[in-house]
């Protein structure tokens, strides 16, 4: 006789009790206020959710850029084209490249072509803005100065910085911050040589393209655009006596003083600047890898930059092979 199935069910052991309920926390959020993951780490140091491999930032290669200076006679054509090229952002290898840069002229006065070769337009450095020059020449003869390229040049210049500066008046090592330091013409008269526009009182160094990174008043590389400008810069540095004991490489790229050649020369200078900066980055990483302080390299310490200084002649020689129509000079000088 078979057993009663109801009794068979009653003889089976009772089911195990359910697991205790997990107490929910209402005080901890997996994401912090700044978006960081605050979940507890597992034994391998990773957070509760899978994370991509973490890369360690290398301070020796993060956004390092040499600081440049461009120089011509009047700080209007060749030096300003190179200044614009060096400071225009370019997308390269997922990073934006635009160099810190300042520019100067070495002449006694700013001279721009006039109605004839014996009637140039003359202005003072440091106290006359590109905007003043543009407005004055447009008022004199807009057709003439637009046809010879002076007005388009000044229109470009006033989008780069306030006005032409003279190399010999540059106070090297003095911070370039705040309002621009302008000098007034000795003759004290108004007009193109001595006057200044009231709107220029608001001009600051921060308004210039490439000003970020040059606030300390020093640069690493100087590009001149004519041999007599190179002579003037080197002679001036020797006269100053190297008070900062900081090395600076002075190059001359001989560029004819016309708008077309300035465009070609600006591209060539940018290419040389890129190669110099790439070499400096490699030497900087090597210096830090040997235990050197990155501040020493960035500050221009001679021992830290010795490897880079020795590479410069070879870099220039290879560049010259590609640009034979632009004769170059180079020397290592000191601020």
Does residue 63 lie within any of the structural domains?
A: no
Residue 105 lies in a domain: yes
Whole-model pTM above 0.85? no
80 located within any domain: yes
Looking at the structure of the chain, the number of domains it has is: 1
Q: Is residue 81 scored above 80 in pLDDT?
A: yes
Cα–Cα dist 49/74, whole Å: 62
Confidence tier at 17 by pLDDT (50, 70, 90): low
Judge whether 15 lies within some domain. Answer: no
Does 28 fall in a domain? Answer: no
Residue 232's CATH number: 3.40.50.2300
Domain membership flag for residue 11: no
**Rounded-to-integer distance, Cα 229 and Cα 252, Å:** 8
The 10s digit of each residue's pLDDT in 219-245 is: 999 999 999 999 999 999 999 999 999
Predicted local confidence at residue 13, as pLDDT = 54
Q: Which domain holds residue 117?
A: 68-334
Q: Which of 220-224, 263-267, 304-308 has the weakest average pLDDT?
A: 304-308
157-201 confidence digits (pLDDT tens): 999 999 999 999 999 999 999 988 665 444 333 344 444 555 566
Q: Is residue 96 part of a domain?
A: yes
Q: What pLDDT does 58 receive?
A: 43
Give the model's confidence band at 45: pLDDT under 50 very low, under 70 low, under 90 confident, else very high: very low
Whether 10 maps to a domain, the answer reads no
In three-state form (DSSP H/G/I as H, E/B as E, the rest C), the secondary structure along the chain is CCCCHHHHHHHCCCCCCCCCCCCCCCCCCCECCCCCECCCCCCCCCCCCCCCCCCCCCCCCCCCCCCEEEEECCCCCHHHHHHHHHHCCEEECCEEECCCEEEEECCCCEEECCCCCCCCEEECCCCCCHHHHHHHHHHHHHHHHHHCCHHHHHHHHHCCCCCCCEHHHCCCCCCCCCECCCCCCCCCCCHHHHCCCHHHHHCEHHHCCCCCCCCCCCCCEEEECCHHHHHHHHHHHHHHCCCCCCEEEEEEECCCCCHHHHHHHHHHHHHHHHHHHHHHHHHHHHHHHCCCCHHHHHCCCCCCCHHHHHHHHHHHHHHHHHCCCCCEEEEEEEC
pLDDT band at 52 (very low <50, low <70, confident <90, very high): very low
């Amino acid at each position: 006789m078979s057993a009663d199935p109801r009794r068979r069910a009653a003889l089976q052991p009772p089911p195990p009790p359910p697991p205790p309920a997990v107490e929910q926390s209402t005080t901890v959020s997996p994401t912090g206020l700044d978006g960081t993951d605050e979940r507890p780490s597992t034994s391998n140091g990773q957070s509760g959710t899978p994370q991509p491999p973490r890369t360690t930032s290398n301070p020796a290669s993060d956004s390092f850029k040499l600081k440049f200076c461009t120089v011509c006679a009047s700080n209007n054509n060749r030096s300003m084209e190179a200044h614009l090229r060096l400071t225009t952002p370019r997308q390269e290898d997922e990073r934006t490249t635009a160099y810190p840069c300042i520019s100067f002229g070495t002449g006694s006065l700013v001279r721009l072509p006039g109605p004839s070769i014996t009637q140039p337009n003359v202005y003072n450095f440091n106290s006359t803005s590109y905007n003043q020059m543009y407005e004055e020449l447009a008022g004199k003869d807009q057709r003439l100065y637009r046809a010879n390229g002076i007005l388009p040049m000044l229109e470009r210049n006033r989008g780069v910085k306030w006005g032409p500066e003279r190399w010999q008046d540059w106070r090297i090592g003095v911070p370039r911050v705040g309002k621009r330091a302008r000098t007034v013409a000795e003759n004290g008269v108004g007009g193109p040589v001595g006057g200044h526009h009231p709107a220029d009182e608001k001009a600051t160094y921060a308004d210039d393209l490439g000003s970020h990174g040059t606030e300390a008043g020093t640069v690493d590389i100087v590009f001149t655009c004519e041999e007599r400008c190179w002579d003037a810069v080197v002679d001036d540095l020797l006269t100053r006596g190297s008070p900062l004991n900081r090395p600076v490489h002075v190059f001359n790229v001989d560029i004819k003083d016309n708008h077309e050649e300035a465009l070609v020369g600006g591209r060539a200078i940018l290419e040389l600047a890129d190669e110099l900066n790439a070499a400096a980055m490699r030497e900087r990483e090597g210096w830090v890898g040997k235990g050197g302080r990155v501040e020493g390299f960035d500050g221009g310490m001679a021992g830290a930059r010795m490897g880079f200084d020795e590479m410069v002649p070879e870099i220039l020689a290879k560049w010259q092979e590609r640009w034979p129509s632009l004769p170059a000079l180079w020397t290592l000088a000191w601020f």
